[in-house]
A and B are shown apart, each in its own frame.
Chain A
Amino acid sequence: MHSIDIEKLEKLAELSVNTGLGLQRGQNLLITAPSDALPLVRFIAKHAYKAGAGLVTPFFSDSEITLARYKYASDDSFDVAADWLYKGMGEAFDNNTARMAIAGDDPMLLSDMDPEKVGRANKANSKAYKPARERITQFDINWNIIAWPGLAWAKRMFPDLAEGEAQSRLAEAIFMASRVNTDDPVAAWNIHNQKLKEKREWLNQKDFKEIHFKGPGTDLKVGLADDHEWMGGASMSQNGIICNPNIPSEEVFTTPHALRVEGHVSSTKPLSHQGTLIDDIRVVFEKGSITEANASKGEAVLKKVLDSDEGARRLGEVALVPNSSPISSSGLLFYNTLFDENAACHIALGQCYSKCFKGEKNLSTSEIKDRGGNSSMIHIDWMIGSGEIDIDGFGKNGETVPIFRKGEWVD
């Protein structure tokens, strides 16, 4: 603990309660966190109660206990999930309990464990948690994710530093990216959210049919899905509470048309995928699908990803992030999508977000497909933005409007 700035940690907790969740007086709060994040969870509980929370209930996972299961549990253990717990979580969400998740556990914890057991345990968990999970993905309630600088994660980012120093560096990077380094983080987020809102509303009003990325190694026309809606920053959940689901968040994003992407694109930052780094990705799109794919590093893994299923070669998300974002300025690779996707403009292969459509928010799979939304088992973001990227929007009446110049929003 001595290596983390306690004052900033408390500011992060306060920010997550007030800006992240928008926690309301009398509202209950459910928190899941890695066990070593206890200091952060205590601060969150303190500020939740100060904000008028009814009851704060934390649930902890512990890496040693998880590993003990894989090492010593009987084979039957891996088809079992805590159904009773997930049922209770679902009931809590039905009763308007807010949800806070603390990210930051060891990203490689299960990499040496039997993949068959990992698969079975995930399957059992996924099945048991499904009803509760849907309440989150459909935004029934206000929810938020923030990060704790876990030691294993810190050592992955800074392998040459001693443990304490690595954790301190990661903590500072999280505080910087989350805008906790400012005197008044809540005010800083209000300004930030207002800027994202302006961009989002402007893009929605323009209703471009296509956007065009142009830069070194990139000349890509991305058709947008019919009835697409740009999202980003604060959003209102279905219980009427405005929350920021992700802290940090720098992106404005929407759903591309799965069949209308043409041209070539190069990655500008390495992609960390399940422990493998894929670097210098270069792909060619024809009629929405990747027809050629190369990478200087991790090409075999990239090709395996593309072969995951039919939708894995098509786009499910396009997101605009200015090159001046705090995460981009840090020059760090976090090995965590919560951070890395906010470093640059990015596209994602695979599943689209069902929420990025105008009107009805619970579209069926066929309704999403009819609008051009992609379907896949994967959703993998990779960065294509830089200080040299220009983006234009093509309107339905043939007009061309500049959106980004040299990696920054055109005001």
Chain B
Amino acid sequence: MVLEKMERPSPYLGKVSGLIKTDMLTSKVLTEGLKRIVKLEGMDEKKESFEKTKIITKGVVVAISSEAKQKIIKSS
């Protein structure tokens, strides 16, 4: 069964927006996504401290600071 584009549920979208109400699952999903992006792209010290937004997956776009990236690299 197919839902119309505007009616396809985006389970975490509402929660991701503003990151006000995140639950454990959402946090885990976002953390895993961020880890993968950081592993793929690595760190670029020359870049500005706050980089452009990253697409974790379809419909999920987040902004990552270099500081956050560094923490993720150290923790993974």
Q: Do A and B bind each other?
A: yes
- A residues within 8 Å of B by Cβ? 32, 101, 103, 115-116, 119-120, 122-123, 125-127, 129-130, 133, 136-137, 145, 231, 245-246, 249, 251, 253, 274, 307-310, 337-338, 341, 351, 353, 375, 377-379
Residues of B within 8 A of A378 (CB): 57-58
Instruction: Give Cα distance in the complex from A103 to B55, angstroms.
Output: 26
B1 contacts A231, C-beta separation under 8 Å: yes
Residues of B within 8 A of A307 (CB): 36
Residues of A within 8 A of B1 (CB): 231, 245-246, 249, 251, 253, 353
Most B CB contacts (10 A, CB to CB) among A101, A309, A337 go to A309
Q: A122-B59, A231-B1, A309-B32 are in contact. Are A351 and B11 (CB under 8 A)?
A: yes
Residues of B within 8 A of A133 (CB): 6-7, 9
15 A-B pairs in the complex with CB atoms less than 8 angstroms apart: A116-B53, A122-B13, A123-B61, A126-B14, A127-B17, A133-B6, A136-B4, A249-B1, A253-B1, A307-B36, A308-B57, A309-B33, A310-B28, A338-B2, A351-B9
Closest CB-CB distance, B56 to chain A, in whole Å?
8
Contact of B55 among A115, A337, A375 (CB under 8 A): A115
- A interface SS class: mixed
Instruction: Scan B40-58; emit 1 where CB is below 8 A from any A CB, else 0.
Output: 0000000000001101111
Residues of B within 8 A of A129 (CB): 6-7
Contact of B32 among A115, A126, A310, A337 (CB under 8 A): A310
Closest CB-CB distance, B53 to chain A, in whole Å?
5
Instruction: Give Cα distance in the complex from A308 to B17, angstroms.
Output: 18
Residues of A within 8 A of B5 (CB): 103
**Extra pairs beyond A101-B7, A119-B55, A351-B9 (20, CB < 8 Å):** A101-B6, A119-B53, A119-B59, A122-B59, A123-B16, A145-B3, A145-B4, A231-B1, A249-B1, A251-B1, A253-B1, A309-B29, A309-B57, A375-B11, A375-B25, A377-B10, A377-B11, A377-B12, A377-B59, A377-B60
Residues of A within 8 A of B4 (CB): 32, 101, 103, 136, 145
Closest CB-CB distance, A247 to chain B, in whole Å?
10
Closest residue on chain B to residue A273 by CB atoms:
B58
- B residues within 8 Å of A by Cβ? 1-14, 16-17, 25, 28-29, 32-33, 36, 52-53, 55-61
Closest CB-CB distance, A99 to chain B, in whole Å?
8
Closest residue on chain B to residue A145 by CB atoms:
B4
B36 contacts A32, C-beta separation under 8 Å: no
Instruction: Give Cα distance in the complex from A378 to B10, angstroms.
Output: 9
Closest CB-CB distance, B15 to chain A, in whole Å?
10
Residues of A within 8 A of B7 (CB): 101, 129, 133, 136-137
Closest CB-CB distance, B24 to chain A, in whole Å?
12
Closest CB-CB distance, B76 to chain A, in whole Å?
14
Instruction: Give Cα distance in the complex from A126 to B56, angstroms.
Output: 17
Q: A137-B3, A145-B2 are in contact. Are A274 and B11 (CB under 8 A)?
A: no
Residues of A within 8 A of B10 (CB): 122, 126, 377
Instruction: Give Cα distance in the complex from A249 to B3, angstroms.
Output: 12
Instruction: Give Cα distance in the complex from A129 to B33, angstroms.
Output: 26
B3 contacts A115, C-beta separation under 8 Å: no
Residues of B within 8 A of A338 (CB): 2
Contact of B14 among A120, A127, A145, A351 (CB under 8 A): A127
